[in-house]
C-alpha cells in the first residue's frame, strides 16, 4: 500500500522541476524578450559640448580662433567678423577641433556657428560670439615696388615700417612671395637709411626677365612687439621683371656702359665723385630707385655745406644718401677724363636724355673704382646685392 504514495510524490517533484526549467529555457532561446543582454545598447545621445576660444568681450587679439567639441563631432564651423567676412579654417580629421588659418584682429566682433553631431547621430547648431580689444597703436608699411610695375632684374621687395618691429620672426612668417618660375630668394632685416626697421626680399641672383612676382603680406592681426603696435590690414603687390639691363660704371676709366641681355648698347663718358674727401662716390652695386626728372639738388641736404644749389635734369636716384646719375653740363670738361663731381655720376645733356629713356627702376649699377668712399650699405637705397648670399640669408629672422 505504500508504493503508490512514493510514485505520486515522484511525479509531483518531476512536475515542479519541469515547471522551473521552462522559463530558463525561454530566457536563453532567441533573445526576443526584454531581459538583460537581449538587445544592443542604445547609443549615447547626450548633447555635444562646444568650447570657443577666445571668449568674452574686449579679449586680446593676435591668436587663431579655436573651437573644440566633446561628446560628439564638429561637422562644420563658420566664423564671420562684423563686416560679414569669413575667417577660414579646417575641422580636424577626428572632428574634435577646428582652428582658423588667420588670427583674430584688433577691434573686431566675431560670430561663431558650430554644427555638431552626437554619437547617436543627432545634429545641432551652437552659436557663440566674442569681441577683441582695439589696437592701442597701429603699425603701417611703406612698400616697393608699386603694383603692376615693370622693374629691373635687381629690384628687391622692400617693406619699411612706421614703428619698431621686435617680433621680426612672427612678422616675417606672414610675408609670402610667389613667383612664376620658383625663384629662390630670402628675406633680410636691415636698418633703413631713415632709421626705421625694414625687411627686403631679394633673389639669390638677379631676376630672370619676364618673372611675375606677387607679395602677399598677411599682416592683419599681427603684433609688432613692444612700442611697435598692431598691423590692422594686409598688403598685396604684383610686378613683372623687364629686360636684363646692367649698368657698369668704371670710375677709373670714367666710363658708363649699358649692357642689355648680355650685349653692350652704349658707352658714355662720365665724371664721378671727386677723390680725397666726402665728395667721393660709392662703389658696389646700387639699384636705380627712381627716375626723378628735374629736381633741385642742394649740397646742404647731404652734409656738403653750400657747395651747390641748382636744378638738375634727368635725375636718377641711386641711394638715399643722395648719389644720382644725371645731366651735369657744368662738368663737361671732365667727362671721360677725371672725377670732379660732388659724388654723383654726371654726363652730358644729350647722353643723360638718351640714358634716362633706356633705364628703369630696379636696374643695377655695378660701380667700381679705387677712389671711392666705400661700398653702398644695404639700407642706403637697395644695397642688399653687396652682401654674399650666405650673409643675406643670415639676416632672415626665420631659420
pLDDT, tens digit (0-9, with 9 covering 90-100), for 285-332: 999 999 999 999 887 777 777 667 889 999 999 999 999 999 999 999
Residue 43: per-residue pLDDT? 60
Between residues 54 and 41, the one the model is more confident about = 54
- Classify 25 as helix, strand or coil: helix
Residue 19: per-residue pLDDT? 39
**Please, how many CA atoms are within 13 Å of residue 8, restricted to the half-sphere of its CB?**
5
Question: What are the catalytic residues?
Answer: 326, 344
pLDDT at 37 over 60: no
Residues 6+ positions from 30 with CB-CB distance below 8 Å: none
pLDDT band at 275 (very low <50, low <70, confident <90, very high): very high
Reported as a single tens digit per residue, the pLDDT across 220-245 is: 999 999 999 999 999 999 999 999 99
Sign of the CA dihedral with 281 first, then 282, 286, and 290 last: negative
Reference 299, options 332, 333, 324; nearest CA is: 324
Q: For the chain, how big is the Rg over CA atoms in Å?
A: 38
Residue 180: per-residue pLDDT? 98
Residue 317: per-residue pLDDT? 98
pLDDT band at 25 (very low <50, low <70, confident <90, very high): very low
Residues 6+ positions from 102 with CB-CB distance below 8 Å: 64, 87, 88, 218, 220, 221
Give the cell for residue 23: 522559463
Average pLDDT of span 265-280? 96
> What would you measure as the largest C-alpha separation in the chain, in angstroms?
162
DSSP code per residue over 304-372:
-TTS-EEEEEEEEE--TTS-EEEE-GGGGGGTTT---BSSSEEE-HHHHHHHHHH--TT-EEEEE-SSE
Amino acid at each position: 500500500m505504500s508504493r503508490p504514495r512514493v510514485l505520486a510524490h515522484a511525479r509531483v517533484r518531476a512536475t515542479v522541476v519541469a515547471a522551473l526549467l521552462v522559463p530558463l529555457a525561454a530566457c536563453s532561446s532567441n533573445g526576443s524578450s526584454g531581459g538583460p543582454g537581449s538587445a544592443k545598447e542604445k547609443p549615447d545621445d547626450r548633447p555635444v559640448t562646444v568650447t570657443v576660444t577666445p571668449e568674452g568681450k574686449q579679449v586680446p587679439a593676435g591668436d587663431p580662433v579655436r573651437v573644440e567639441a566633446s561628446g560628439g563631432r564638429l561637422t562644420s564651423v563658420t566664423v564671420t567678423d562684423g563686416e560679414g567676412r569669413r575667417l577660414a579654417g579646417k575641422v580636424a580629421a577626428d572632428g574634435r577641433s577646428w582652428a582658423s588659418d588667420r588670427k583674430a584682429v584688433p577691434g573686431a566682433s566675431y560670430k561663431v556657428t558650430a554644427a555638431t553631431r552626437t554619437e547617436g547621430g543627432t545634429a545641432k547648431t551652437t552659436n557663440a560670439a566674442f569681441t577683441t580689444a582695439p589696437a592701442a597703436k597701429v603699425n603701417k608699411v611703406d612698400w616697393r615696388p608699386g603694383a603692376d610695375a615693370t622693374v629691373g632684374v635687381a629690384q628687391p621687395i622692400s617693406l619699411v615700417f612706421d614703428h619698431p618691429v621686435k617680433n621680426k620672426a612672427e612678422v616675417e612668417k606672414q610675408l609670402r612671395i610667389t613667383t612664376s618660375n620658383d625663384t629662390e630668394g630670402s628675406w633680410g632685416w636691415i636698418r633703413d637709411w631713415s632709421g626705421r626697421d625694414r625687411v627686403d626680399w631679394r633673389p639669390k641672383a638677379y631676376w630672370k626677365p619676364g618673372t611675375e612676382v606677387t607679395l602677399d603680406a598677411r599682416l592683419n592681426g599681427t603684433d609688432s612687439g613692444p612700442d611697435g603696435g598692431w598691423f590692422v590690414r594686409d598688403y598685396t603687390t604684383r610686378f613683372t621683371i623687364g629686360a636684363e639691363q646692367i649698368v657698369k660704371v668704371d670710375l677709373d676709366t670714367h666710363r658708363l656702359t649699358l649692357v642689355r641681355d648680355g650685349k653692350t648698347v652704349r658707352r658714355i663718358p662720365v665724371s664721378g665723385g671727386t677723390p680725397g674727401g666726402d665728395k667721393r662716390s660709392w662703389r658696389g652695386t646700387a639699384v636705380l630707385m627712381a627716375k626723378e626728372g628735374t629736381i633741385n639738388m642742394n649740397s646742404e641736404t647731404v652734409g656738403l655745406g653750400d657747395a651747390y644749389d641748382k636744378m638738375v635734369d634727368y635725375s636718377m636716384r641711386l641711394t638715399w644718401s643722395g648719389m644720382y646719375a644725371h645731366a651735369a653740363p657744368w662738368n663737361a670738361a671732365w667727362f671721360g677724363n677725371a672725377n670732379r663731381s660732388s659724388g654723383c655720376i654726371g654726363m652730358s645733356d644729350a647722353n643723360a636724355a638718351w640714358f634716362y629713356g633706356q633705364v628703369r627702376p630696379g636696374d643695377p649699377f655695378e660701380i667700381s673704382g679705387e677712389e671711392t668712399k666705400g661700398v653702398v650699405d644695404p639700407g642706403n637705397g637697395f644695397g642688399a646685392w653687396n652682401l654674399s648670399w650666405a650673409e643675406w640669408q643670415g639676416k632672415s629672422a626665420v631659420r
